[in-house]
A and B are shown apart, each in its own frame.
Chain A
Amino acid sequence: MDTIISLFTNPATYRLMTIVILSIFLGIEVISRVPSVLHTPLMSGANAIHGVVIIGAIIVMGEARTDDYLSLILGFLAVILGTLNVVGGFVVTDRMLEMFSKKKKK
């Protein structure tokens, strides 16, 4: 119960909850008018954006004690996987969209 109450009394948590709720509506608004042609690139682009989880991996890695090898290795793996998600996601999306724009000029 205390945890639930603290959601509203703790200003930091309250701020985060506000961001969550506003972002949910924003996500719905931004996406709801997409031509089906763009569904695949959009899914791919969104896929790259959730790669933002990499920031968590960087923090984990950067805070790990230099003699804590388990954390170092897991964190290192997390950074690699997160980077793959971000870089791979954006490059793939760009490749898809490149083809759309090419014939647009004609």
Chain B
Amino acid sequence: MENAILQLCYLIGSITFIMGLKMLSHPDTARKGNLVAAAGMTIAIFATIFLFEHDGQKLHNYGWIFGGLLFGTVVGTFVAKKVQMTSMPEMVSLFNGMGGACAMLISLVEYNKPEVKETGTMIVIALGMLIGTVSFAGSMIAWGKLNGSIKDRTIPGGQVINFIIFAGLIALVIMVVGGFMPEMHSLFYGILALAALYGILFVMPIGGADMPVVISLLNSFTGCAAAFGGFLYDNPVMLTGGILVGSAGTILTILMCKAMNRSLKNVLIGSFGGQKAGASGASKEQGNYKEISLNDTAVLMAYAQKVMIIPGYGLAVAQAQHTCHELEKVLNEKGVEVLYGIHPVAGRMPGHMNVLLAEADVPYEKLLEMEDANDQMASTNVVLILGANDVVNPAAKEDPASPIFGMPILEVERAEHVIVNKRSMKPGYAGIENELFFRPKTSMLFGDAKKVLQSLVQELKQV
């Protein structure tokens, strides 16, 4: 009877995950979808605690279980409530790593259990640990890279090293699973060590601009690791939850790659902004750029009919989203139409800019997706680029040698004037020179996005 209730709870859990994901993909139902999935998760967790039986034995150690749950809930809620909207990508990466580590620990404990394991069980334990560890190590590196504590580093011959490690991992798994050397427990821990190393080396050379793709990929890895847990415990809800995320994460990864017009292989192998990119950028003849004063910018914008703002990571770093909205309101009062052109991969995650601007109460319908923004470009008087770089780089259209060649961009040059706000002339996160800054239509407005926008609002009020 109790087992029937448990299975029913798991079924409910699986259904809520499917419904949750489905609802998350529509703006109107997204929030409810998240809550639905969370409710299903709660049911599945408590059903497991109280109803799960193995060989007629109920679970025990309730003190430890509830202690862990309570601690995790308090800390998780606190951190998630505290974190600033701009550090959201890091947060997702961090939580993803925790899930990976959880899968890794489960495999470790299961491996240490004294009873004899079947081949199938060993496969599941070994692969669960392998993927969990790669996901954990990779997520930690991605987290460090996004918050700036780890720099991009290209290791010479990195691909060869990665391939050797990968081959070594497969060999180890086969040896452990095949039980050729049952006394050699170090082989199993060898998987752990190699997988951690692989996770680190796998993410290390990938450039910052590709980080969203990597996080999404690691997300689906953790999903697979959870699914292996489902096999291990013959648990349907872990299986559906894990596999759903695994396949959905893969699709999301591919969608993101498509937005950049690159293949996944290209992202993983070619390090964005590595030496090759630097060389092609540096060898090119660079013209002069011209600066524009705040006052001139204000006048130009005040007398425009349509202004398009293109936000990028610089806006997020400067926490300038509220000031940006203020600028929009001042311009609206002057009868200027203000729109936002959002590139799908602007910022550090897809949708990053949308989340950021939503925080500042910018109306949903003013955020144009790339195609719509490009359609409006010809009738736009002033384009204001706030800390975006690679997503407006004309090299993507014109320079076949550029590493971002073929990526769809916001075609800002079709507008009358282009004003670029940046802190300096340094290239963007991808490390590629941007010729846009030297084009005749472009004027540079240097400074921190927030300070510049604040002064701009002041100037505009006086125009």
Contact = CB atoms under 8 A, between A and B. Distances in A.
A31 B64 contact: no
Interface string A64-102: 101000111011111111111111111111111111111
| Secondary structure of the A contact surface, majority rule | helix
Interface in B362-406: 362-364, 367, 369
A51 B42 CA distance: 11
A76 B65 CA distance: 7
A23 B243 contact: yes
B80 A50 contact: no
B341 interface: no
Given A46-B252, A49-B244, A71-B112, A56 B229 contact: yes
B33 interface: yes
B234 A16 contact: yes
Contact of A90 (B17, B41, B57): B41
B96 A85 contact: yes
A36 B105 CA distance: 35
A48 B41 CA distance: 9
B220 to A, nearest CB: 8
B138 interface: no
A56 to B, nearest CB: 4
A26 B20 CA distance: 13
B99 interface: yes
Interface residues of A, number: 85
B22 interface: yes
Contact of A93 (B34, B61, B119): B34
A76 B21 contact: no
B67 interface: yes
Interface in B26-75: 26-28, 30-31, 33-35, 37-38, 41, 44-45, 48-49, 52, 54, 57-62, 64-65, 67-69, 71-73, 75
Contact of B367 (A28, A37, A99): A37
A30 B248 contact: yes
B62 to A, nearest CB: 8
B34 to A, nearest CB: 5
A66 B60 CA distance: 9
A38 to B, nearest CB: 6
B103 A37 contact: no
A97 B105 CA distance: 32
B92 interface: yes
B48 A55 contact: yes
B165 interface: no
Contact of B68 (A37, A45, A61, A101): A61
Given A53-B222, A83-B71, A100-B30, A46 B48 contact: no
Interface of B: 13, 17-18, 20-22, 24-28, 30-31, 33-35, 37-38, 41, 44-45, 48-49, 52, 54, 57-62, 64-65, 67-69, 71-73, 75-77, 79-81, 83, 85, 88-89, 91-92, 94-96, 98-99, 101-103, 105-106, 108-110, 112-113, 119-120, 123, 215-216, 219, 222-223, 225-227, 229-252, 255-256, 259, 342, 344, 349-352, 354-355, 358-359, 361-364, 367, 369
Interface of A: 2-3, 6, 12-13, 16, 19-20, 23-28, 30-64, 66, 70-72, 74-104, 106
6 contacts: A30-B22, A32-B251, A53-B225, A59-B54, A63-B54, A82-B99
Closest 10 CB pairs of A and B: A83-B72, A62-B59, A27-B247, A79-B68, A39-B350, A87-B76, A52-B241, A40-B351, A91-B80, A56-B229
